[in-house]
Amino acid sequence: MVSDDTLRTHLQELRRGTVVVASLIALRRPDYGYALLQRLTGHGFPVDANTLYPLLRRLEDQGLLTSEWNTEESRPRKFYRTSEEGEQLLGRLLDDLTAVQTSLTGLIEGVDR
């Protein structure tokens, strides 16, 4: 039987890259960090705030997200949105995910390439 720690480690590794894809998809609609955290968790992408906020800053630094401050509410919030460059990258990442899924399906079904 696989230990819980081993399973948790491998699930974390598997999901690490998918959080980037999920964030780029979710942020096609502008949102702030905490709301994104809740949305991702609600869709099966549990991510810690200490992971998400640095990720958002990195994606913004890479030009994959844009941001602006909303100061209309009592508490200012930084809203993020997927940029044009982020959309381009997302398309490539989704294509690659499809190719990976096809390859895994072939391995599972024993299909020779």
What ranges do the domains of the chain cover? 4-110
Integer Cα distance of 95 and 9 in angstroms = 26
Q: What's the confidence (pLDDT) of residue 80?
A: 98
Specify the residue for token string 């081993």: 6
Kindly report, residue by residue over 15-33, the tens digit of the pLDDT: 888 999 999 999 999 999 9
Residue 60 scores a pLDDT above 90: yes
pTM assigned to the model? 0.88
Contact predicate 59/89, CB 8 Å: no
Q: Return the CATH architecture of domain 4-110.
A: Orthogonal Bundle (1.10)
Integer Cα distance of 9 and 35 in angstroms = 26
